[in-house]
Structures are given as structure tokens and as C-alpha cells.
């Protein structure tokens, strides 16, 4: 009798120990798997950010007046969001249209808010179901007054697999993120005090700092320009070769130097998505007196200058050089196989960013100290100014105020005076 009681107690203890072990493993699993889920939060947030920015980039093109894509803007925005989310390993639960303040919009373009000012996602217009009706209302974020469609709010999640928590029947843990990105005119880029036009000039500068060797050939230093607004740079014009300053042709091919000078004197400010391929009519220095005078008319002002990082020469294999390479496709960023790189003019340059470049003037103290009272020295006889130990005889001189790497540069209304505005994309929530 006593033996049976002891055996029963040992059996009960064994059951308790097994149950305790299961509970312990479950609790440990929740801690370990919970930590793993938390470790995934940053990745999910990055995926949500990228998806929202992808949608807002399409809205930036729309804002800049680009041609409506096949299938319409809504389908293009939706495809961009889903493609970016898939590339980053997150699932889009829903995406909604917002104004510049990030407030969701209803189908009629009004604010999708509850009486207490909380987002009303039930009635908000989802991306992929058509865009909200247009409105001309001026947005006012503090008062919750919404304006036109300018952004997207994206909800994403990722189901993170568990390890130990499976003993409790928990196979995955959801990790979610919400991000809003909006496209708009960069208000600080073209202030009225900067210039009348804030002109978009058809001259492409390298992304990296460059110099010339003793034979007047270009050397890439591998260092990017500092956009501190104080450092005076002499951007050298070496021999005619890819990697040098290039002169853009907005309407390839034709016009030459005369068109170039006209575009500097009176910019037409076409919309330029980032990134994109642009045609170069000439690299290096065309030694045109009229061009130097045209650029010097902007001395002391901020101009928008494209920056390039790659060249493409599709002409040697029979492809017409006025056929724009497809951007952002693989391989070679859309440049045909075997055509990436090359030298000389009549080529395509890849533009991934724009610089806001303040040309030097006689009244700029920094330029005075540098001994460079003008923004352009293009006649090939200015070694005393342009030669910083590299043999350059021509150069552009000024200070980089900022660099724009996303969005679209183009004409529009907003952000100061004039006909050219920088359109950017920003995460706002």
C-alpha cells in the first residue's frame, strides 16, 4: 500500500515536471521568438518605407507633368508599391492615398477622418481602386485641412517563423509597420531670394569630385562633393571624354551649341525623373564665348545641375543613338549589353541626382577668398583660375547647396518663384 502511494506520487511528479518543462519551453520560446520578431521590426519598417517611397515617386512624376503611363496613374502607383514590397520581403495589407500632410483621402478628395480627427481607413480611398477626385484646396496640416493627392500611406507586415513557441501552437508572429511618403515641391530649393528663375541648366556634372592629369585627362577621385554651402569648388573641364562635364540635349539629336546657349539663357525646364538617361551632345569644353556669358548671367544664383554616374554608347552596334535606354532595368541599368561606358560626345549619361549649385560671384565672400569672382571660365585660357595642380584651363566654379537623389526635377508651381522647381519625395510619418 505504501509502495503504491510512492509510485503514484512519483507518477504525479513526472507529469508535473513534463508540464512545467512544456510551460518553461513555451515561455522561453516566447522570449526568444519575441526577440526574433523584434529584430525583424527594422527590416519590416524599411520595407514599408521603401514601398511608400516607390508609390510617392510615381506621384512625383505625375506632379511634374509626365505623360500618363499605360493603364493610368493609379495602376502604376499600385504596381510600384507592390513591387517594392515584394523585393523587401513584406506584404502590403493596404495602401491609401493621402494629401501632402499625410491625411487619408476619401473618394471625393475630402479628409477621411472621424469626428475626433482619427484616421478613418474604412472610408479612405485605397490605392489600386482609382484615385481620389481632384481638389484645389490649399492644405493646412495643423487644422487638418486637406489638399490634393500627394502621398500614400502603406500598411505592411511580415509573418516571422517561430522556433520554440511552436510547442504552444504558435508557428508565426506577425510584425507590422505603417509609413507615409509624399511628393511635393522642395520649398527651400528655389527661394525667391535665390534667383528669378532657379534655372535648370543643361550641363551634367559628375557625381564624384574630378580633377585633370598633366595631359588634361579626367581623374575620378572617388569622393562626392560636399554640399555644405561654403566650400568653393572649381569643377574642371578636362579633355573631351566621358566622365567630364557634359552638355545635355533635351531634344536629341540636334541644335548643337546654339541650342545649348538658348537653353541656358531661357531654360525650358523639362521634367527629368531620377534616375534617367539623358543625351549628351558634347563632353568637356565647347569653348563657346556665348556659353560662358550665358552661364555668368547666373552668377551668385542657385541653379539646378544634373549629376551623372554612368555613360552608355549604343550607336556602335547599329542602335540609333537617339533611342533612350530603358531606365532601371537589368542588366547595365538599361544600357544595351556591351555598350556601358565609352568616351566622347553623342552618348547617353545616367542622371541619378541633381545638385543645387550656387555659381560664384564678385559679391560672394567665399568666392572672393578663393579668387574666383565668376561662375564660369569656359574659353580654355583660364589656367590661372582653374588649375589647382591638375592642368585644367576651363572650369565651373561655385558651391553645392544640396543634393536631390529622389523624385523628379521639373516645371511646376510652388517653392519660390520662376518656372523650374525641384520635386522631391519625403517620408513624413
Per-position DSSP letters for 77-98, written without gaps between them = HHHHHHHHHHHTT-EEEEEEEE
pLDDT by position in tens, the chain (length 429):
444 555 555 556 665 665 666 555 555 555 565 565 566 677 888 889 989 988 988 888 888 677 788 899 999 999 999 999 998 889 999 999 999 889 999 999 999 999 888 999 999 999 999 999 988 788 888 788 898 999 999 999 988 777 666 656 667 777 888 999 988 765 444 443 444 435 677 777 888 887 776 665 667 788 888 888 889 999 887 764 554 566 776 666 555 667 777 777 776 666 677 777 887 766 555 556 688 888 898 898 878 788 888 888 776 555 555 566 666 555 677 787 777 776 656 678 888 887 878 899 999 999 999 999 999 998 778 888 887 666 677 888 999 877 766 655 554 333 333 344 556 677 776
pLDDT (0 to 100) of residue 288? 60
Cα angle, residue 105 at apex, residues 101 and 111 outer, rounded to 5°: 75
**Residue at 257 is within a domain:** yes
Shared domain check, 144 and 38:
yes
Determine phi and psi for 239, rounding to 5 degrees: -70, 165
Instruction: Check whether residue 150 and residue 47 sit in a common domain.
Output: yes
Cβ-contact 335, 314 below 8 angstroms: yes
Judge whether 113 lies within some domain: yes
Task: List CB contacts of 86: < 8 A, sequence separation 6 or more.
Answer: none
Where are any strands of DSSP class E within 323-387? 347-351, 353-359, 376-377
Contact 103, 140 (CB under 8 A): no
Question: How many domains, the chain?
Answer: 2
- Identify the DSSP state of 188: T
Name the burial class of residue 205, with classes exposed (0-12), middle (13-18) and buried (19+) by CB atoms within 10 angstroms of its CB: buried
Same domain flag for 369 and 296: yes
Is 193 inside a domain boundary? Answer: no
CB of 347 closer than 8 Å to CB of 324: no
Task: Say what the alpha-carbon torsion angle 134, 198, 252, 343 is, to the nearest 10 degrees.
Answer: -130
* Claim to verify: residue 215 and residue 156 sit in the same structural domain: no
Q: Are residues 219 and 363 in the same domain?
A: yes
Residues 55 and 103 in one domain: yes
Say whether both 159 and 234 belong to one domain.
Answer: no
- Give the pLDDT of residue 417: 37
The answer to whether residue 22 is domain-embedded is yes
Same domain, 173 and 91: yes
Residues 260 and 395 occupy one common structural domain: yes
The set of residues, in sequence order, having a beta carbon less than 8 Å from that of 72 and lying 6+ positions away, is none
- Quote the domain boundaries for residue 238: 203-419
Closest to 376 in 3D by CA, of 397, 357, 391: 397
Pairing mode, if any, of strands 408-410 and 421-427? antiparallel
One domain for residues 175 and 210: no
Of 158, 185, 212, which residue constitutes the final position of a domain? 185
Query: Are residues 285 and 401 located together in one domain of the fold?
Result: yes
Whether residue 34 is found in the same domain as residue 178 = yes
Q: What's the confidence (pLDDT) of residue 312? A: 82
- Asked if residue 133 lies in contact with residue 145, where contact means CB atoms within 8 angstroms, the answer is no
Amino acid at each position: 500500500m505504501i509502495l503504491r502511494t510512492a509510485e503514484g506520487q512519483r507518477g504525479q511528479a513526472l507529469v508535473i515536471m513534463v508540464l512545467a518543462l512544456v510551460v518553461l519551453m513555451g515561455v522561453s520560446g516566447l522570449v526568444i521568438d519575441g526577440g526574433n520578431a523584434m529584430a525583424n521590426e527594422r527590416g519590416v519598417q524599411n520595407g514599408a518605407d521603401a514601398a511608400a517611397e516607390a508609390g510617392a515617386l510615381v506621384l512625383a512624376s505625375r506632379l511634374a507633368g509626365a505623360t500618363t503611363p499605360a493603364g493610368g496613374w493609379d495602376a502604376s502607383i499600385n504596381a510600384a508599391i507592390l513591387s517594392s514590397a515584394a523585393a523587401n520581403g513584406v506584404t502590403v495589407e493596404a495602401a491609401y492615398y493621402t494629401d501632402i500632410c499625410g491625411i487619408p483621402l476619401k473618394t471625393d478628395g475630402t479628409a477621411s477622418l472621424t469626428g475626433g480627427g482619427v484616421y478613418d481607413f474604412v472610408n479612405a480611398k485605397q490605392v489600386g481602386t482609382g484615385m481620389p477626385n481632384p481638389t484645389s484646396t490649399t492644405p493646412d496640416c495643423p487644422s487638418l485641412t486637406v489638399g490634393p493627392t500627394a502621398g500614400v500611406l502603406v500598411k505592411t507586415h511580415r509573418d516571422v517563423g517561430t522556433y520554440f513557441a511552436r510547442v504552444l501552437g504558435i508557428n508565426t508572429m506577425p510584425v507590422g509597420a505603417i509609413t507615409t511618403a509624399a511628393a511635393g515641391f522642395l520649398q527651400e530649393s528655389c527661394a525667391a531670394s535665390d534667383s528669378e528663375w532657379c534655372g535648370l541648366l543643361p550641363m551634367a556634372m559628375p557625381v564624384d569630385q574630378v580633377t585633370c592629369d598633366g595631359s588634361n585627362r579626367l581623374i575620378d577621385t572617388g569622393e562626392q562633393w560636399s554640399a555644405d554651402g561654403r566650400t568653393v569648388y572649381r569643377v574642371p573641364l578636362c579633355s573631351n571624354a566621358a566622365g567630364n562635364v557634359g552638355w545635355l540635349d533635351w531634344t536629341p539629336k540636334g541644335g548643337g551649341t546654339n541650342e545649348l546657349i538658348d537653353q541656358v539663357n531661357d531654360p525650358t525646364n523639362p521634367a527629368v525623373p531620377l534616375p534617367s538617361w539623358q543625351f549628351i551632345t558634347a563632353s568637356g569644353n565647347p569653348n563657346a564665348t556665348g556659353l560662358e556669358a550665358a552661364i555668368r548671367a547666373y552668377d551668385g544664383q542657385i541653379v539646378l545641375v544634373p549629376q551623372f554616374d554612368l555613360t552608355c554608347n549604343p550607336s556602335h552596334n547599329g542602335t540609333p543613338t537617339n533611342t533612350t535606354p530603358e531606365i532601371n532595368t537589368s542588366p547595365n541599368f538599361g544600357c544595351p549589353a556591351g555598350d556601358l561606358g565609352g568616351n566622347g560626345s553623342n552618348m547617353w549619361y545616367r542622371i541619378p541626382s541633381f545638385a543645387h549649385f550656387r555659381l560664384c560671384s564678385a559679391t560672394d565672400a567665399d568666392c572672393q577668398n578663393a579668387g574666383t569672382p565668376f561662375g564660369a571660365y569656359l574659353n580654355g585660357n583660364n589656367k590661372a583660375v582653374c588649375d589647382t595642380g591638375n592642368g585644367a584651363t576651363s572650369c565651373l566654379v561655385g558651391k553645392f547647396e544640396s543634393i536631390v537623389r529622389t523624385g523628379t526635377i521639373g516645371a511646376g508651381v510652388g517653392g519660390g518663384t520662376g518656372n523650374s522647381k525641384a520635386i522631391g519625395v519625403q517620408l513624413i510619418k
